Amino acid sequence: MAVKDYLRERFFPHMWCPGCGHGTILNALVHAVEELELNKNEIVMVSGIGCSARISGYVDFHSLHTLHGRALAFATGVKLSRPNLKVLVPMGDGDALAIGGNHFIHAARRNIDITAIVMNNRIYGMTGGQFSPLSGPGVKATTAPYTTIDNNFDVVELAKAAGASFVARSTAYHVKESTELLKKAILHKGFSVVEILSQCPTHYGRKNKEGDAVGMLELQKTNTAKLGSKALEDNPGLIPRGIFVEKECPEYCEEYDKIIAQAMKGRNS
């Protein structure tokens, strides 16, 4: 199938601002699904609320546009009740880690076979540019006119600590790399997290003098480096990209199947 067969073209053009990184992430994600030759009927995309969440409307999968922060909780119900389905959960940074932080760490702890994609533009875009728990200190936002004093989460470290069995990071600039990481995440058995740094020129770039979309993409290139690269070794302050965790751990739905087998045996004996 062609990439466009995975899209609901009647809903284009999409609603994201010119220069937004989210369309690029949609591109990387659809390419990943196409290259894996997945059956559309076996994919459920569950999203929350915010700019990121609108991604589920554009893909021709079973799509569930839910409540702010709750996408992983809905997704857990979908996955546990039908473990044969591939469940993809794209979320924004505020969606995934402010209002949805509890669901994020618990989905990771269970190691349920869901792919979480954190589309991190470090801002609440849809509500007009408020800072998020991934903005970090020293950032200007509409609710931080004097700059933020809040520390930020490191998504990779948080996901690792919470028990995710696949953790990776890339950026909207590195589209092909994002596609490759997403393919691995989707194929991984267990809870996988892919953080993709995205740009919001409308709200973040303008207020923080990072320029337009081109300027912000340039920063994604120069501020990051591949894990194990010489660039990262020479400049440990750069944001590392790549796969941070990839391990086999008991998966929740498979473990529950063992409980069913045990309960049925107990009942019949």
Partner 1 sequence: MNKKVRFLQGNEACVEGAIYAGVDFFAGYPITPSTEIAERLSEYLPQRGGKFIQMEDEIASMCAIIGASLTGKKVMTATSGPGFSLKQEAIGYACMAEIPCVIANVQRGGPSTGNPTHVSQGDINQARWGTHGDHSIIALTASNHQDVFKMTVDAFNMAETYRTPVILLFDEVIGHMREKLVIPEEGELEIVDRLRTSVPKDVDYHPYLPREDGRLPMSDFGGEHRYNVTGLFHDMWGFPSNNPKIVNELLRHLVDKIDNNVQAITRYKEHCLEGAEYILVSYGSSARSAIHLAQNRRNKGEKIGVLELQSLWPFPTELVREKCARAKAVLVVEMNMGQVLTQVKAAVDNPDRVFLANRIDGKLITPSDIKRLLRVIQGRGV
Kindly list the residues in this chain that would bind partner 1 in the complex (CB under 8 A): 11, 40-42, 44, 46, 56-57, 60-67, 70, 73-82, 84-85, 102-103, 106, 256, 259-260, 262-264, 266-267
Residue closer to partner 1 by CB (options 71, 196) is 71
How far apart are CB 127 and partner 1 at their closest, in Å?
A: 15
Handedness of CA 195, 137, 68, 13 (dihedral sign): negative
Amino acid at 73: A
How far apart are CB 255 and partner 1 at their closest, in Å?
A: 11
Q: Give the integer Cα–Cα distance in Å for 79 and 114.
A: 8
Residue closer to partner 1 by CB (options 75, 172) is 75
Torsion of CA 237, 164, 30, 124, to 10 degrees: -60
User: Tokens 């740009």 identify what position?
Assistant: 199
Q: Give the integer Cα–Cα distance in Å for 120 and 139.
A: 15
Residue closer to partner 1 by CB (options 17, 64) is 64
Torsion of CA 73, 79, 80, 84, to 10 degrees: 180
* Strands in 32-96 per DSSP E: 43-47, 62-65, 86-92
Tokens representing 70 are 């709750």
How far apart are CB 69 and partner 1 at their closest, in Å?
A: 9
Residue closer to partner 1 by CB (options 42, 233) is 42
How far apart are CB 153 and partner 1 at their closest, in Å?
A: 17
How far apart are CB 16 and partner 1 at their closest, in Å?
A: 15
How far apart are CB 44 and partner 1 at their closest, in Å?
A: 6
- Pairing assessment for the beta strands 123-124 and 130-131 based on DSSP bridges: antiparallel
How far apart are CB 133 and partner 1 at their closest, in Å?
A: 18
In the three-class reduction of DSSP (H, G, I as helix; E, B as strand; rest coil), residue 116 is classed as strand
Residue closer to partner 1 by CB (options 99, 243) is 99
Residue closer to partner 1 by CB (options 151, 262) is 262
Residue closer to partner 1 by CB (options 67, 238) is 67
Of 136, 127, 65, 63, nearest to 97 by C-alpha is 136
Q: Give the integer Cα–Cα distance in Å for 243 and 181.
A: 8
Handedness of CA 35, 41, 43, 49 (dihedral sign): positive
